[in-house]
Structure 1
Amino acid sequence: MNIVSLLEQRRHGWEELERLCDEMQSRGRTRGKAPGATRFASLYRSACADLALAEAYQLPPATVEYLHRLVGRAHNQLYRSRNFSLDRSVDMLVRQAPRQIFADPCVHVCGILFFGLFWLSMLLGMSEERLPDFPAQVVGEAQLEQMESNFEAELDAGFDHYVMMASFYIRHNTGIGLQCFAYGILIIPCIFTLAYNAVALGTSFGYMARDSTTGGDNFFEFVTAHGPFELTAIVLSAAAGLRLGLGLISTTGLRRGDSLKVSAIRAIPVIAAASVLFFLAAITEGFLSPSPLPYTIKAMWAILSSGAMTFYFVVLGFPRAGIDAT
């Protein structure tokens, strides 16, 4: 039997699915009718398979277009917005999202690249005897002098200054995240931007850790509290953008547009987590970091925030045996 005859025999299933879509659209989703829901889901899966066959064997455009509309309509009815459910929301936040982030290879690649270059550059920047000119060559002499000037005085400011700092760093941090995310679709610029930020930040940290540098203590008092949030958010932003870029290259048999849509869905938890971390970093950087509070409090905040992120992304994200990680 050829493919055309097979699809013609299954046309009655399409008509039944279209009739069910009309009924659901007119009266809404009916609760408590498992047989009807099972039949609808079965017809939807069959229509998806028929659409794939129709496209693969290049059937008449009218048939393909009809199946596209039918599948799209059935998909909207099957997965349309449901009433708010606390259980579903908690499951999404504490199980699905962290496991998707933990299992994403783009997060692994960006994390290793960024933090590897960051710590390596920091060690090289601290080596004053062997590499005295390394920070100036990487960051620039003017930038180093500006950093020393900014942190020469002890941290002390009023509430108005804190609000101004918070608004500035929200804009600044968001700009870094958007840049890494936007370049991700081009892959190479994303990797370059991520590596540049890692080297520049690591070198700056290393330079400010030198004994001969002015304002080193004030610098680390300022960056300790918000550093874990900000650095992790940069990594996640780049990973979300890189996920989109790989979706255009590695389509796994899908059309490029469909592959990009699938990649965008996979990137949603990553970029959402990055947005939350950037916001927390900006609030911390604007209010806690420049405050005259003891350094112990800021260090404890950094430890608690690092522990919370480790628990969420690693402990909750680590796959459990026998449990499907979506």
Structure 2
Amino acid sequence: MTPIRFEAEYGVMWDAFAEQIQVAQNGKPVDGALLAARYRRVCEHLALAQSRAYPVHLLARLETLAQDAHQIIYRRQDFGLAALGQLLRVKIPQAVRDQRMYLLAAFLLFTVPLVVSFVLALTSADFPLRVHSAQQLRNFSSMYADGKESIGRLRDGGSDVQMFGFYIFNNIGIGLRCFGAGILAGVGSAFVLLFNGLQIGTIAGYLHHAGLGHNFWPFVATHSAFELTGAVLSGAAGLRLGLSWLAPGRRSRLEALKLAAREAVLVIYAAFFLLAVAAGFEAFWSSAAWVAPWVKFTVAGLCWLLVVLWLGLMGRGAQRAG
């Protein structure tokens, strides 16, 4: 078979294969079975053309097709790690910054009651009893008492692994409440943020006033970078849902809610990722009394810096997915 006849017979398939490769390179879904079948055929054609010493331009065309297809087919065997990296490095930070107004609202709803309740707990002996029961306050004092191998725990019997499971369940539960309550016109998310800020500020002020700050602050310093940020992100996503219900614009409420859910889902991914990381630190690092406080504060500063850099800077300049 002459090179001209060879190219005329298979050229249509090569053109279709090149178009399919271009679609796959653009990140759009393609028929994987057809792609693999065409790849095998092109490899056969390339081997045949090489054995017959066909012209260089024909060999180059087939080699390019085979190489491009090989990269597409075998890059899919990275178990999704490349896609996960793209999600964490680009898509999630971009999505969080896109929701900056909701993030600011959630931040204020959480931090204002936290700061106010902290000051009131420091200056008023009665205020903590208005937020927590006397038994709860005694439990907190016991958790951060001196002489414990694992601070921040009511009982010493649980292993670090067991406590990690507990913290995961607790942290993700808070995140789900902050987000899910947003369906109640955003009021639910606002209430959860206010309530958690009030409780955390009161506990912090009470323990500091009781002379247990030297145990409490090293415990919360590191994982707070992830836990507090995760809670605020969850609340921001919930507020986004709530606004779509209250002010759907020209869309129906259902359409507006679907759009808000799509925009909020990456923010929730960020929140749950941070809350899971917080659980790991809380179980294996924060509770360790043998780690010097200055070390924990240093690591805490690095963790806060990493969170700010991740959400504030990563993904800038990268092309957004359409």
TM-score range, shorter chain: 0.5 to 0.7
Is 2:146 the partner of 1:153? yes
TM-aligned CA deviation for residue 309 of structure 1: 0.7
Residue matched to 2:205: 206
Matching residue's letter, 2:176? L
Specify whether residues 159 and 146 from structure 1 end up closer, same or farther in structure 2 by C-alpha distance, changes over 3 A only.
closer
Runs of 5+ consecutive residues of structure 2 not aligned to the other structure: 1-16, 25-74, 151-155
Q: 1:139 to 1:311 in 2, by over 3 A?
A: same
Q: CA deviation at 1:102?
A: 1.7
* Corresponding residue number in structure 1 for 2:94: 99
Note if contact 1:151-1:215 (Cα within 8 Å) is conserved in structure 2: yes
The one-letter amino acid of 1:102's match is R
Cα separation, partners in 2 of 1:262 and 1:297, compared to 1, 3 Å: same
- Name the CA distance, whole Å, in 2 between partners of 1:222 and 1:214: 15
1:31 is paired with a residue of what secondary structure?
helix
Measure, in 1, the Cα distance between the counterparts of 2:81 and 2:287.
38
Distance 1:325 1:304, change over 3 A: farther
Q: 1:220 maps to which residue?
A: 217
Report how far residue 296 of structure 1 moved: 1.8
> TM-score by structure 1 length?
0.67
The verdict on how the C-alpha distance between 1:134 and 1:86 changes in structure 2, with shifts beyond 3 A counting, is closer
Identity within the alignment, %: 32
Q: Which stretches of structure 1, 4 residues or longer, exceed 4 Å deviation after superposition?
A: 82-92, 157-160, 322-326
Q: Residue 134 of structure 1 is aligned with which of 122, 127, 138?
A: 127
The structure that has the greater radius of gyration is: 2
Structure 1 Cα separation of the partners of residues 272 and 190 of structure 2: 19
- Report the equivalent of 1:313: 311
1:162-181 correspondence runs (5 A): 162-181=160-179
Is 1:192 the counterpart of 2:205 in the alignment? no
Secondary structure of the residue aligned to 1:98 is helix
Q: Whole-Å Cα distance in 2 between the matches of residues 217 and 115 of structure 1?
A: 22
Contact 1:114 1:235 in 2 (8 A): yes
Give the Cα–Cα distance (whole angstroms) in 1 for the partners of residues 171 and 312 of structure 2.
24
With the length of structure 2 as denominator, give the TM-score of the two structures: 0.68
**Cα contact 2:119–2:205 (8 A) shared by 1:** yes
One of 247, 251, 259 as aligned partner of 2:248? 251
Q: CA RMSD in A?
A: 3.0
**SS of 1:122 mapped into structure 2:** helix
Contact 2:187 2:242 in 1 (8 A): no
Query: How far, CA to CA, are the matches of 2:160 and 2:144 in structure 1?
Result: 16
Amino acid at match of 1:256: R
Cα distance in structure 1, aligned partners of 2:82 and 2:166? 37
The worse-fitting range, judged by mean Cα deviation, of 232-241 and 249-258 is 249-258
Alignment of 1:1-326 (within 5 A): 30-32=20-22, 92-104=87-99, 105-127=101-123, 131-157=124-150, 161-186=159-184, 187-210=186-209, 213=210, 215-291=212-288, 292-316=290-314
Match of 2:222, SS state, is coil
For structure 1, the 5+ residue unaligned runs are 1-26, 35-81
Per-residue Cα deviation, 1:83-113 (whole angstroms, up to 9, x for no partner) = 6898776554333321221231211110122
Query: Hey, what's the Cα distance between the residues in 1 that align with 2:190 and 2:20?
Result: 49
Q: What secondary structure does 2:291 align onto? A: coil
Using the alignment, how far apart are the partners of 2:83 and 2:120 within structure 1?
48
Residues 108 and 325 (structure 1 numbering): CA distance in 2 closer, same or farther, change over 3 Å?
Answer: farther
Question: In the alignment, residue 94 of structure 2 is paired with which amino acid?
Answer: R
Hey, what's the Cα distance between the residues in 1 that align with 2:256 and 2:145? Answer: 52
Over 3 Å counting, the alpha-carbon distance change for 1:32 and 1:165 in structure 2 is: closer
Is contact 2:207-2:213 (8 Å) kept? yes
| Residues paired across the two proteins, number | 246
Deviations 1:236-287 (A, max 9, x none): 1111122122222222312222211211110011100111111011111101
The separation in 2 between residues aligned to 1:33 and 1:223, in whole angstroms, is 49
Q: Which amino acid aligns with 1:202?
A: G
In 2, the alpha carbon distance for the partners of 1:111 and 1:298 equals: 24
User: 1: CA distance between counterparts of 2:21 and 2:131?
Assistant: 63
Change (3 A) 1:31 1:281: same
Q: How many Å separate the matches in 1 of 2:137 and 2:157?
A: 28
